[in-house]
Homo-oligomer: A and B are copies of this chain.
Amino acid sequence: MATQRRVTPRKRPSQGRSKATVEAIVQATARVLLKDGYEACTTNRVAETAGVSIGSVYQYFPNKESLVVAVMEGHLGQMQEALARRLGELSDADLPTVVKSMVGGMLEMHRIQPRLHRVLLEQVPRIGALKRLHELNDQYEPLVAAWLEAHQEQLELPNPGAAAYVMIAAVEGVVSRVMLEKPGWVELGVLEPQLTRLILGYLAPHLVPITRRAPSPAPAAP
């Protein structure tokens, strides 16, 4: 199976100059990934794009993988931050509102560098892209779980332990697929109501508003 390699920095930049270098390298990696894809993302090319010698790259990064990991770390960090902000605002409003807000947050999170996200998802292998992504989710799962438990009385929820997990996986599954296949949907606002309904129907079916038929001409499936 895939061998584990070191991906932590080789040396920490201490002077301001070197910090800039490291930053330039990471950004260059992202740029190359975006423009040319993972295949063409060679160490030499990254160095060149960063306007830096290849030797400098290897002063701070032990290997090629660590470059991509750094990019991924940064990107996921941004996403996580965006979501945490939204989750922090989770008020004690009524459930439909809260759910809508959570779903909105997860959608918003995916507005951050969607093209980079795509490359990272689609092209980067074995580095553990998925693993890191899941770690990201694992970080906000407890938040959601805690919220659920606190409001357990208002919900009709067997097995609240699994609920947070299922919820997050479901939303994330739909969103990330839509981002890959039909990026337009997010902007069109098609997704939010659907996901809200999905989750609300899961957590508290009795709270789903009754709607007989679609009032608007439904946009047909692809």
**Given the contacts A123-B126, A177-B134, A190-B162, A208 and B211 also touching, CB distance less than 8 Å:** no
User: A2-B37, A198-B201 are known contacts; what are 6 more A-B pairs with Cβ within 8 Å?
Assistant: A121-B130, A159-B194, A160-B218, A165-B221, A169-B174, A205-B208
Stoichiometry (number of copies)? 2
5 pairs, CB–CB < 8 Å, chain A vs chain B: A1-B36, A38-B126, A158-B197, A166-B195, A170-B170
The CA-CA distance from A205 to B208 in the complex, in Å, is: 7
The CA-CA distance from A205 to B120 in the complex, in Å, is: 37
The CA-CA distance from A1 to B1 in the complex, in Å, is: 28
A164 at the interface (CB under 8 A from B): yes
Query: Which chain B residues border A198 with CB–CB below 8 Å?
Result: 166, 170, 198, 201-202
Chain A, interface size category, equals 35 or more
Within 8 A of B (CB), among A174-222: 174, 176-178, 180-181, 190, 193-195, 197-198, 200-202, 205-206, 208, 210-215, 218-222
A173 at the interface (CB under 8 A from B): yes
Q: Do A178 and B174 touch (CB < 8 A)? A: no
A39 at the interface (CB under 8 A from B): yes
Query: Which chain B residues border A171 with CB–CB below 8 Å?
Result: 170
Closest chain-B Cβ to A112's Cβ sits at a distance in Å of 20
Q: Do A214 and B160 touch (CB < 8 A)? A: yes
